[in-house]
Amino acid sequence: MAVERAVAELGVLIYPGAQMAAVHGLTDLFGVANRIAAEHQTAQLPLLRVSHWQVEDAQAPARCYASHPGADRALVAVLIPPSIGGFTEGQSPAGLIRWLRQQHAQGATLGGVCVGSILLAESGLLDGRSATTHWTSAKSFAERYPAIKLLADTPIVDDGDLITTAGLMAWSELGLRMVDRLLGPSIAASTARFLVIEHSDSASQCGSNFAPILSHGDASILKVQHWLQSTGATDVSLNAMAERAGLEERTFLRRFRAATGLKPTEYCQHLRVGKAREMLEFTNGTIDHIAWTVGYADASAFRATFKKITGLAPSDYRTRFGVTPPRQ
């Protein structure tokens, strides 16, 4: 008897010049992940359904076609593939930018590959946030979008609700990151192994990177989540979060936990540790400096929280997964 599974709708954007190999590659990657997940025969794992979207004119975006026509669920994520031709003004019509902002406001995670990162920058959603892009675009990107903290040497910047990647072929890592979030690290690793593509094993060994639940439908709580992502959850208080949501503190606590599955303090801890994991993997800053950067004045408290969430001390995590030699 077939197990009835929930559906997670993933949108892949098609724009003028989009690399169709990435569009179809992402679709196939999610198909492989679905097949591996189905072998577990459990209703706890959602079915990943892919729909392809494009802009027909400058006024309004429309779906071009979908793997399962007629799907009317809200999108869990929108993935923007790269373009071999590079970025031009014509790739960011007002209708597309408006649609991306609307999907984000409704709780979709947005992921951009290479030129896709530039489209996210054009939307303004990356202002005040960290991002990466292809090395050939780094100089112009930094000049054009000074409000964005460009991490040009980082292959992927996972900032929870916004993910950017640097390479033309990084669509596979973006796809695996979404599989990791929705189906778990073991299925992501199995998908990578089946497709014979590289995938960081930090998630499978230390738990998935922090993936906040954004598609819960509570607009007040989502507003706070977007704010926490943009500030890094540094120097925040329960009162400030409740004020941002426009709710009384007790009501905010109840609704936040119902929407996200975590208490606000736990949520902030996971968000900070997620950012610290990225810094430990891709930068050579000292652990004390990283602790301070992600919002911990007490480095020992940071070390304890990091180990509680990942199972490893920060130094051990860097030794195992870091790609940059530590600062002496």
pLDDT at 89 over 80: no
Residue 2 covered by a domain: no
Residue 23 covered by a domain: yes
Interval 4-15 mean pLDDT: 89
Q: Which of 179, 206, 233 is the last residue of a domain?
A: 206
Beta-strand pair 149-150/109-113: unpaired
- pTM tops 0.85: no
Q: Which of 206, 228, 256 is the last residue of a domain?
A: 206
CATH code: domain of residue 310? 1.10.10.60
Structure-token match 């922090």, residue found:
210
46 and 20 share one domain: yes
Alpha carbons 118 and 264: distance in angstroms, whole number: 32
Strand-pair partners of 80: 112
248 and 160 share one domain: no
Residue 272 structural domain: 219-321
Question: Is there a contact between 241 and 222 (Cβ–Cβ < 8 Å)?
Answer: no
pLDDT in tens, 18-34: 899 999 999 999 999 99
Contacts for 243 with CB less than 8 Å, ≥ 6 apart: none
112 and 231 share one domain: no
CATH code: domain of residue 138? 3.40.50.880
Q: What is the pLDDT of residue 86?
A: 66
Q: Which of 184, 206, 228 is the last residue of a domain?
A: 206
247 and 156 share one domain: no
pLDDT grade for 326, boundaries at 50, 70 and 90 = very low
185 and 76 share one domain: yes
**Between residues 148 and 84, which one has the greater pLDDT?**
148
274 and 228 share one domain: yes
Count of domains for the chain: 2
Arithmetic mean of pLDDT over the chain: 86
In the chain, count of helices (H) and strands (E)?
A: 14, 9
